[in-house]
Amino acid sequence: MTDKIRMWLLFGILCIMMNWLENFAQPLKRNATIPLSDRIGELAFRYNRSPLGENVFVFDQTMNMSDIQTLIDSIYSGQLYPVNEFSDNRFALLFKPGVYHLDVKVGYYTHVIGLGKSPEETVIIGAVRSIASQGGHVLCNFWRAVENITIIPTPDSVNTWAVSQASPLRRVYVKGNLKLYDGPSSGGFMANCRIDGTVFSGSQQQWLTRNSVFDKWIGGVWNMVYIGTINAPEENWPEKPYTTIALTPEIREKPYWVFSGKELKMKVPGIRKNSCGVEWDDNSRGKTLEWNDFYIANPVVDDAKSINKALKKGKHVLFTPGIYFLTESIRITRPGTVVIGIGFPSLIPVNGNKAIEVSDTDGIIVAGLLIDAGTVASELLMQVGEPGSKKVHATNPVFLFDIFFRVGGPREGSTSHCLVVNSNNVHIDHLWLWRADHGNGVGWNKNRCANGLIVNGNDVIIYGLFNEHSQEYQTIWNGENGRVYFYQSEMPYDPPSVDIWKHGDTCGYASYKVAGHVKVHHAWGLGIYNVFYDAPIIVDQAIETPPALEDSLYHKVIFWLNGNKESIVKSIINGRGGSVNASNRKAVMK
């Protein structure tokens, strides 16, 4: 390139920047923790006037659609892979009931929420979509969500929701077809959704669909689980990767926001037993929480002390988008308390403390939070029930929805365990526990984490357990009568040697361990995968249970994805089932 060409290129870039600054970078009050991109400028100032903070935008159908589209595009352009995968920016886009003509592109840490009593009250004509950006895959399309909205694709188009972990669709109605891939993809979660047309799963390696309905489902790679879903594919394992369970034994759908009159209210659905299909009715089995019932947490002014003070006064808590550094645990002690986030707020302990402690009491709901390990190692990030909890909560269980843990990735951090459940009758609906395999502070001796999940309580149910890369067992189940519907796990990528990753005479750690004293345990659709890059690792079994429980875990698959060509997983469960290595990559059991 000649000096003259370089000069003209630099001049052109300078002109573009000057024009952009003149038109968009208007002075705007800033949030020091989660600054808005300067590209958003005047439009952001116009559309984020709500009590929910600068990164929450509330739209109604009378607003200028072109302006809304420009604002959404501006937010999206700053939330793309790979540059913004670990950004501190967080956004919530709230749509009042009405009809909108928009193409809503959803990037990292973006939460799209309709505010109707039913998804059919808030309609997007166009698209609400997650697609591949740089790299041509969606293996890292994490941390985004759409809830309580109707999507009408433009004629002859298919709405695309191409994601991997931590990207739920809830209470979504697609009046057309839905495509779940845009290049290689690695799993997702959909609940309480209706798709009028066909769902094309394409490259999706694994997926959980709960209490939904569609006309038809096409495709499936390794582990596709459907529970309480109308028109789910017919089960024919292992010839086809489908696990189909007719009824969901017990569930409460995630609470959702509605705009009623001049303010927001929260609907908390009632508990359904043996259910199938969607629940969108505003029925009497649930309850309504008023806006004044909530303490609105703001990352600029709030810390653990102010939030705990509000909880002690009987308030529910709404975490608005941002990063919350906690010098002590958030303590939830009052029965029936709701603690919920919008826009993927992150809670980070800074003193080696827990981020959240839930008391052994009835009916608490925790939803929509990212919990990140801090640089000072914590023994535990979240605890449900005190050690030794004995109470029975069968009539009013604790519910967790869309809780996502990270150890490393955004920043260096360590913990011994991400989540420990001591209480009985806890129900978990979508959980991802992730020791980072890429990002910041990543390495065998940097982002330390022994276990993702430990369950000590009895009668615990999990719908959608994603648990990856911890350095010992990913999951340890000590409680009786546990049930897991869908399990996705990758073993750690980075054990440095066979000897380091041994315990006693056993080579490697199983991903899923049911303790030897457990008498009753059931799980459906377990997919466990390995990528050992740093050494020729040997693993004796992917799943470890008491011998009497081997046949209580249904539809098991293990897969050798990549890595050192001498590595091997020798069996699926307790020495039974096939092995996987570079030349025999897949093994399946009923």
Last residue of a domain, one of 252, 283, 306: 252
By CB atoms closer than 10 A (0-12, 13-18, 19+), residue 388 is exposed
Q: Name residue, tokens 């956004």.
A: 91
By CB atoms closer than 10 A (0-12, 13-18, 19+), residue 64 is exposed
Last residue of a domain, one of 252, 287, 306: 252
What backbone torsions phi and psi does residue 45 show, to the nearest 5 degrees? -60, -35
Q: Clarify whether residues 65 and 189 are in a common domain.
A: yes
Q: Clarify whether residues 236 and 336 are in a common domain.
A: no
Q: Clarify whether residues 319 and 244 are in a common domain.
A: no
199: left (phi over 0), alpha (psi -120 to 50) or beta: beta
Which pLDDT belongs to residue 354?
A: 98
Q: Clarify whether residues 232 and 364 are in a common domain.
A: no
DSSP secondary structure of 242-263: EEEES-EEEEEPPPEEEEETTE
Q: Clarify whether residues 239 and 131 are in a common domain.
A: yes
By CB atoms closer than 10 A (0-12, 13-18, 19+), residue 373 is buried
Strand (E) or helix (H) holding 558: strand 553-563
How many C-beta atoms surround the C-beta of residue 523 within 10 A?
A: 25
How many C-beta atoms surround the C-beta of residue 552 within 10 A?
A: 16
First to last CA, the chain: 62
Distances (CA, A) of 391 to 312, 457, 459: 22, 10, 12
Which pLDDT belongs to residue 457?
A: 98
SS (H, E, C) 141-167: CCCEEEEEEEEEECCCCCEEECCCCCC
183: left (phi over 0), alpha (psi -120 to 50) or beta: left
Quick check: is 506 in a domain? no
How many C-beta atoms surround the C-beta of residue 410 within 10 A?
A: 20
Q: Name residue, tokens 């978990």.
A: 428
Q: Name residue, tokens 């979509």.
A: 129
Q: Produce one character per residue of 226-238: b if its CB has 16 or more CB atoms within 10 Å, e if not.
A: bbbbeebbeeebe
Q: How many domains, the chain?
A: 2
Dihedral of CA atoms 570, 574, 577, 580 in degrees, nearest 10, equals: -20
Q: Clarify whether residues 211 and 336 are in a common domain.
A: no
Which pLDDT belongs to residue 260?
A: 84
Quick check: is 25 in a domain? no
Quick check: is 265 in a domain? no
Query: Which residues are part of the catalytic machinery?
Result: 490
Quick check: is 29 in a domain? no
Quick check: is 462 in a domain? yes
343: left (phi over 0), alpha (psi -120 to 50) or beta: left
Q: How many alpha carbons lie under 13 Å from residue 374 in its C-beta half-sphere? A: 23
Q: CATH number, domain at 242?
A: 2.160.20.10
Q: Clarify whether residues 225 and 326 are in a common domain.
A: no
Quick check: is 566 in a domain? no
Q: Clarify whether residues 174 and 58 are in a common domain.
A: yes
What does the alpha-carbon distance between residue 245 and residue 240 come to, in Å, rounded to a whole number? 15
Tell me if residue 512 falls in helix, strand or coil. strand
- 431: Cβ contacts below 8 Å, ≥ 6 apart: 400, 403, 404, 419, 453, 462, 464, 465, 466, 467
Q: What is the DSSP letter of 462?
A: E
Quick check: is 259 in a domain? no
Last residue of a domain, one of 235, 252, 269: 252
Distances (CA, A) of 418 to 16, 327, 379, 380, 415: 46, 17, 8, 6, 7
pLDDT by position in tens, the chain (length 590): 433 333 333 333 333 333 333 333 322 233 333 444 555 567 777 777 677 888 999 999 999 999 999 999 999 999 999 999 999 999 999 999 999 999 999 999 999 999 999 999 999 999 999 999 888 899 999 999 999 999 999 887 899 999 999 999 999 999 999 999 999 999 999 999 999 999 999 999 999 999 999 999 999 999 999 999 999 999 999 999 999 999 999 999 999 999 987 889 999 999 999 999 999 986 668 999 999 999 999 999 999 999 999 999 999 999 999 999 999 999 999 999 999 999 999 999 999 999 999 999 999 999 999 999 999 999 999 999 999 999 999 999 999 999 999 999 999 999 999 999 999 999 999 999 999 999 999 999 999 999 999 999 999 999 999 999 999 999 999 999 999 999 999 999 999 999 999 999 999 999 999 999 999 999 999 999 999 999 999 999 999 999 999 999 999 999 999 999 999 999 999 999 999 999 999 999 99
Which pLDDT belongs to residue 284?
A: 63
Which pLDDT belongs to residue 262?
A: 82
Q: Clarify whether residues 94 and 233 are in a common domain.
A: yes
Quick check: is 478 in a domain? yes
Q: Clarify whether residues 230 and 369 are in a common domain.
A: no
Q: Clarify whether residues 85 and 168 are in a common domain.
A: yes
If we measure between CA atoms, which residue out of 333, 327, 316 comes closest to residue 378? 327
If we measure between CA atoms, which residue out of 549, 438, 452 comes closest to residue 85? 438
Q: Clarify whether residues 87 and 230 are in a common domain.
A: yes
Enclosing domain of residue 367:
315-490
